[in-house]
Structure 1
Amino acid sequence: MLDTPNQFEEYVIKAEKKELIYFLMENDFLKREDICTLCNNPNSLVRHKNSIDGLSWRCMNVKCKNYKKYASIRKNSFFHGFNLQLKDILRVVIKYSYFQQSYSIKNSLDISKSSVNRILKKLINNIPDANYEKQKLGGPGFIVQVDETMLNFKCKSHRGRSPNNRTDALCIIEFKNKITRCFATIINNKEAKTIIPIICSQVLPGSVIHTDEHKSYSALFKNGFTHATVCHKYHFINKHTGVNTQAIESFHNELKLMIKKRKGVKTACRKEFLREFCFYFNSRNNFFHSVIALLKSH
């Protein structure tokens, strides 16, 4: 795999169609072999002038009912369902991998807006949920910070926020000199019965947790956590204990900057947006390769 987005995009632009197909097969983005569904014999990779890719799988077993029938090389791959050149699909994905916004991608490529949206939607649907139930946040040497934030944005009148537009999210970060992992999820309310089970499912028992003084967090101690607080009404760092939530506030700022860059996120899309943002944040040091790996998650 080529090391940077620019290197990969340059290769994709210059590569001949057949060369690119072989590259995608060698790197497991397309199947290297195909089996006939009727005779169970391997299909042959042959030229196919009526295929957008110029190559197709074909059954060559004369005794099979599928004899000489073609099958797309895109079958069971990320590329299936798109009537676009492979290099065009890849360029959309590559541009996304270096943080180009969708409107900018549309402006830089000779591809329709609807096609770009479909590619990005399929890519984002492949992003896994940030779920740490099997490898929980926190533990010795780490501090966990928890806070809620609103995902809504100002109305067009710029006179505040519509109550119908409000969405709250619970955010959890693991910290050791820097944020190492993050988790975020939509919550219907800020009650303890909503928040505490989420924290328990994601954070290792016995972990040190820093929060503000919201009453819902008072039950953390009873659930086996070492809990310390800071009162945001008076200060952002507890001058007696040094307890703070500065790391998660920084996380919130980056989250809201992303919302601002997108000129807001529709209410119905906010759960998906949180999943996408956590994926970006958790893999930001290797985002290009993490995005390209999503092409194998079909």
Structure 2
Amino acid sequence: MAGLLSTIGKHTASEDSAFEYLVEQGLLAKERRCSKCYPAPNLSLIRRSDIADGWTWRCSLRGCRTKVSIRKDSFFSQSKLRLTTWIKLMYLWASDIPVTKVRCHLDDGECSTTTAVDAYYLIRDIYTGKLLASPVLLGGPGIVVQIDESLMRHNHKYNRGRGPLDHIWVFGMLDTSLSPGVGYMEVVDKRDAAMLLPIIQQHTRPGTIIHSDQWAAYRDPAARLPTVACHRTVNHSRHFVDPQTGAHTQAVESYWNSVKSKLKSMRGTTDGMLPGHLDEYMWRERWGSGANGWMNAQTAYNSLVRHICTMRMRRKIFYVAVYV
């Protein structure tokens, strides 16, 4: 196994070790009950040499013998990939390995690029769902949040998609009290007050100080938004930093450079995928970073495992039979 995957080597040595690990992590059920029998007995785990997983659940009643996949109602139920391969793919994603490079880290024939793309799509559902369940909140009493919009001139894969005149604007906010800064981004159809001010209100804590340029949509948010205590601007046609208030947007502009550098490294994307890529960037900032604030593969992997388990519980995916 390649060095990158050595950390999870003991969990991917065999399908049995993968199954035991995923049960231990709460990603697969450790027990089930039969949905057809009353009172419902626990299903028994039996060895199956004719299936890739190697195990299946079976009702212990002689007149039933209902069989249930160990993947039923789990994150892995939508895929036929081996569980060992799934663990590897999760770690490769956490390590920020592009989907086009996944096969370089796997055994020959273990996973096609198309299948890896499908797996990354399923992981996207997890981090996007986590962001929806835990809305981003920035700032707070006396904390400066810089805001700005940026034009995303990304390349289109396969030369498909909207032309260069159909610009995609992203509105961004950066909490400057943290190092490195932590932000929020959202694709916007318009850059007017009706579009941008509700986003500021939704993603800032009470008492936040806003720094921005003098774009008209930002006019006087402190009087219009309950969470904004103060608004300071900088006139970029004259200064990079306002000489009187010290207001500037240099941190959020640096943030845009980092985001665009990440998108550029992907060698193009599609318009429909851009929001997902922004979500991934924000997820990694919050749950994929080490103690020093920089992104860390092991931290991201542990968070991914935890969030898959959390989403599974939230959606009541753990199998429970209810009898009246």
CA offset digits 1:182-221 (Å, max 9, x no partner): 2111111111111111111111233111111111101312
Equivalenced residue count is 287
The Cα of 1:31 is off from its aligned counterpart by 0.4
Deviation at 1:170, TM superposition (A): 0.9
- SS state of the match for residue 126, structure 1? helix
Paired letter, 1:51 = I
**Which consecutive residues of structure 1, in runs of 5 or more, have no partner in the other structure?**
none
Moved more, 211-220 or 15-24: 15-24
Give the CA deviation at 1:7: 4.9
Q: Which moved more, 1:237-246 or 1:22-31?
A: 237-246
Partner residue, 1:92: 89
- 2:56 equivalent in structure 1: 56
Q: Give matches, 1:260-279, under 5 Å.
A: 260-279=264-283
Structure 2: how far apart are the matches of 1:238 and 1:53? Answer: 63
Letter paired with 2:49: K
Residue 163 of structure 1 aligns to a residue whose secondary structure is: coil
Alpha-carbon contact 1:180-1:282 (below 8 Å) kept: no
Per the normalisation by structure 1, the TM-score is 0.88
Q: Could you list the per-position Cα deviations for residues 23-67 of structure 1 after superposition, in whole angstroms to 9, with x for gaps in the alignment? A: 21112111000111111211000111222111100011124xxx2
Deviation at 1:105, TM superposition (A): 0.8
When the two chains are superposed, the root-mean-square deviation of aligned CA atoms in Å is 2.4
In the TM superposition, what is the alpha-carbon distance from 1:136 to its structure 2 partner? 3.5
- Displacement of 1:119 after TM fit? 0.7
Map Cα deviations across residues 234-257 of structure 1 (whole Å, 9 max, x no partner).
332223222111221121111101
Report the Cα distance in structure 2 between the residues aligned to 1:135 and 1:119, rounded to whole angstroms: 26
Are the aligned partners of 1:211 and 1:244 in contact in 2 as well (CA < 8 Å)? yes
Contact 1:192 1:219 survives alignment (8 Å): no
Higher RCO by CA contacts (8 Å cutoff, separation 6 or greater): 2
Distance 1:154 1:268, change over 3 A: closer
Moved over 3 A (4+): 5-8, 129-136, 154-157
Structure 1, residues 84-136: CA drift from partner, whole Å, max 9, x if none? 21111111110111111111113332311121011110011111364699773
Shift of residue 147, structure 1, vs aligned partner: 0.8
The question of 1:289 aligning with 2:302 is answered yes
* Equivalent-residue separation in structure 2 for 1:29 and 1:214 (angstroms): 47
Structure 2 counterpart of 1:68, one-letter code: R
Query: Contact conserved, 2:155 with 2:269, CA < 8 A, in 1?
Result: no
Residue in structure 2 matching 1:25, options 12, 23, 30: 23
Contact 1:130–1:183, Cα closer than 8 Å, also in 2: no
**C-alpha spacing 1:172/1:133, structure 2 compared with 1 (3 Å):** farther
Q: Does the aligned pair in 1 maintain the 2:142–2:208 contact within 8 Å?
A: no
Which residue of structure 2 lines up, in the alignment, with residue 163 of structure 1?
Answer: 165
Structure 2 residue corresponding to 1:252, chosen from 239, 252, 256: 256
Q: 1:116/1:220 Cα in 2 relative to 1: closer, same or farther (>3 Å)? A: same
Where structure 2 has 5 or more consecutive residues not aligned to the other structure, the ranges are 290-298, 313-324
Does the CA contact (< 8 Å) of 1:182 and 1:278 recur in 2?
yes
TM-superposed CA distance for 1:6, in Å, is 4.4
Structure 1 residues 106 and 294, CA, compared in 2 at 3 Å: closer, same or farther? farther
Structure-1 separation of matches of 2:152 and 2:249:
19
Query: Does the alignment pair 1:83 with 2:89?
Result: no
Q: How does 1:1-298 map to 2 (within 5 A)?
A: 6-13=5-12, 15-39=13-37, 40-63=40-63, 67-109=64-106, 110-127=110-127, 128=129, 130=131, 136-154=137-155, 162-164=164-166, 166-223=167-224, 224=226, 225=228, 226-285=230-289, 286-296=299-309, 297-298=311-312
Separation (CA, whole Å) in 2 of partners of 1:235 and 1:169: 24
Identity of aligned residues (%): 23
Question: 1:149-187, CA deviations, whole angstroms, 9 ceiling, x for partnerless residues?
Answer: 122225799xxx7013x2111111212152453211111
Cα pair distance change 1:246/1:117, threshold 3 Å: same
